[in-house]
Structure 1
Amino acid sequence: MTDISVWDKEIPVPVRLIQYIDQNVREKLPPGTQFHGIAPSGSSYWARTAKIDATDANGEPTPFFIKVHQFEHGKNMVSSEFYAMKLLYSIIPEMPDTYFFICRFRELSNDIPDVADFPALLAEFHGRSKSAAGDFGFPITMFGGRNPQTFPLTKSWEECFSKGLDKIFDMEEQTHGPDEEMQRLRDGLMTKLIPRLLRPLETEGRVLVPSLVHGDLWDGNASADVETGRPMIFDATPLYAHKEYEMGPWWCNRHKMTHAYIEEYIKHMPRSEPVADFEDRGALYNL
């Protein structure tokens, strides 16, 4: 989810970079592609985004979407996004590949995916996507906006989640400096709340299977294809996680994906045991 502190800041990438189609971009697209123009499209707080109007070798319209970053940090951001979207698409190609580096342009609606089919499709995705080594976490650093997110590979979801959240607290302290109240909250989360809510998932004979999740599935990262009506997801920060982690943003009342999406999802993917902790786990994942 986007930090409100960036809303009024200038995008840290010059607009001139999407006022022409760079030769390096041209060379990466299919042979025979004819280029007809480029114009800003979509929105981002830390990148420039544009639509490239083009036709293929047969003269059929084949528009592309491009996202441009700068410098080493930007290189890491686009590299991780490409890796993420390629992996998600390999598991469920029915959810079209869109919005990584440069890809086929999709005209998106101004609304979120339909509650009647999107949660079911997401549940199917979680059911298909199993970690080959049985690990939670992710092998490379992903980026939520400009912020690196690291979830180490481990056999324990409690350990993976704790270490990932601990890194976020570290970045918060580096940005704003030490805070006594924040440290108390951090200690309570790490030593009491997380063990209380996550440890029971993997004790008393219970086994938690890692599922690949989008990782930031709020309404700003999901829409529908205007032409087909099919759900579209983008800007992923994936990891192998407890499947309920995906629904973290849906517990937040200000988001468009409401509890109705949660209720529909659990019709297709049962809640983990202990079921009594389901809502409390949701509140934890909403942090």
Structure 2
Amino acid sequence: MANSTSGADGTGGLPVDPNIVAVLPCVERIVGVRTVHQSPWAKALRLDVHQTDGSDQSYFIKISFGHHGRDALKGEFEATAAISAITPDFCPKPAAWGSLGDEPDGYFYVCKFYDFADGVMPDPISFCEKLARLHSSHTSPEGKFGFHCTTHNGDLPQDNTWSDCWEGFFSNGLRHVLQLREERAGPNAELDAWLPALFDKIIPRLLRPMESNGRKIEPSLVHGDLWYGNSAVIKATGEGIVFDPASFWAHNEYELGNWLPERNRFGNPYFKAYHSHIDPTKPEDDYDDRIRLYALRFNLHAATLFPDEESYLRLVIDEIRALAKKYPNGYVEGTKPDVAEQNIPGA
């Protein structure tokens, strides 16, 4: 087993916590370790080791602190493990998570390290085939929406409480994010004025029809934070993968809501490639506005993560206003309000 304080390789090597070394298999010695990324809520390292069989291996290590750090890294491990169990070629294989030995209240997550191609987006066809395989595995425990532990979108803990109903799960999760936003940025009177329309009219109108009149949604495991920064192309193989998930079992189209904002770079070719495998959920006429509703939640995530950037909250308020104007009556059982002609992105 390698010494926890070894690892200086002439490139700014750092000590390696003994609890991290302890979970790695077959390590003969540490070759090098260096910081590769730092965010306000975590630090990422690359650890290179020489193994007892004579081979070399590289690991990605994320370190965070406090109650948030523990829950976030546990959630990342559990979510990545869940994705890997369904589509092992779509994410780095997770190795372990746990407590640091040398730093009080510190935690780590370890998975395989890959060299990524700089500035390259994944190929839409192969990437969306893998995503569709992930979404098509309807193996949620007891067919419920949610997840068995808290997962984090950035540093936002999500409410993953199990629910039999997608509308109820989505509403509860959205209320949770709204509460976090208010705790971080303070109340916003304009936003608050539109919330009754959002929860009493828009959400029932767009989500309830999928679970009415004999229709049922089969929960899909989603990545949950699938913007371009959480995807990459492996330099050695050219294959696209995902990482840093905020997973739960959801309506599969929820994933696509994060593709609607242009800043996230998954444009029309990805929508088209995805829907070559999975058709829009019925009623299809509601598809466009369901995606807008899901995008609203991702814009709310951004408004909560970056409360000083007012444009994100403006997007949320403007979208609620537009949907409220379009659906003033909300959900009325047995009737179908007029909607604009469907226009699936990329179709």
Same fold, TM-score > 0.5, yes or no: yes
* Other-structure match for 1:213: 222
Whole-Å separation in 2 of the counterparts to 1:32 and 1:131:
36
Pick one of 113, 116, 120 that aligns with 1:108.
Answer: 116
Residue 20 of structure 1 aligns with which residue? 15
Point out which structure has higher relative CO (alpha carbons under 8 A, 6+ apart): 1
> What's the TM-score once normalised by structure 1's chain length?
0.90
Corresponding position: 1:145 with 2:154: yes
Which deviates more from structure 2 when the two are superposed, residues 96-105 or residues 148-157? 96-105
- The one-letter code matched in structure 2 to 1:34 is R
Matched residue, 1:175: 184
CA RMSD in angstroms comes to 1.6
Match of 2:74 in 1: 79
Deviation for aligned residue 1:43: 4.8
Which digits, 9 at most, give the CA deviation of each residue in 1:4-23, with x for residues without a partner?
Answer: xxxxxxxxxxxxxx821111
Deviations 1:185-237 (A, max 9, x none): 22211111100100011111111111111101110101111111122111101
Q: Does the C-alpha gap of structure 1 residues 197 and 23 become closer, same or farther in structure 2, counting only changes over 3 Å?
A: same
The amino acid of 1:144's aligned partner reads N
Instruction: Give a deviation string over 1:108-135, Cα, whole Å, max 9, x none.
Output: 1222211121111111111124213010
Between the aligned partners of 1:42 and 1:228, the Cα distance in structure 2 is 23
Q: In the alignment, what sits opposite 2:126?
A: 117
Equivalent residues of 1:151, 1:161 under 8 A apart? no
Q: How many residues align?
A: 270
Q: Distance in 2 between matches of 1:280 and 1:79?
A: 34
Is 1:198 the equivalent of 2:193?
no
Question: Using the alignment, how far apart are the partners of 2:25 and 2:191 within structure 1?
Answer: 52
Q: How big is the shift at 1:97?
A: 2.4
CA distance 1:43–1:113, change in 2 (3 Å) = farther
Mapped contact 2:91–2:243 kept (Cα < 8 A): no
What does residue range 1-287 of structure 1 map to in structure 2 within 5 Å?
A: 19-98=14-93, 101-110=109-118, 111-287=120-296
Q: Quote the Cα distance in structure 2 between the aligned partners of 1:174 and 1:221.
A: 26
Percent of counterpart pairs with the same letter? 34
1:263 positional shift: 1.2
Structure 2 regions of 5+ residues with no counterpart? 1-12, 98-108, 297-347
Equivalent-residue separation in structure 2 for 1:33 and 1:192 (angstroms): 61
Alpha-carbon separation, structure 2, partners of 1:162 and 1:260? 30
Letter in 2 for 1:133: E
1:244/1:282 contact within 8 Å kept: yes
Query: How far off its partner does 1:98 sit?
Result: 4.5
Q: How many angstroms apart in 1 are the aligned matches of 2:193 and 2:139?
A: 36
Distance 2:41 2:210 in 1: 37
- Structure 2 CA distance for partners of 1:33 and 1:279, relative to 1, 3 Å: farther
Which has the greater radius of gyration? 2
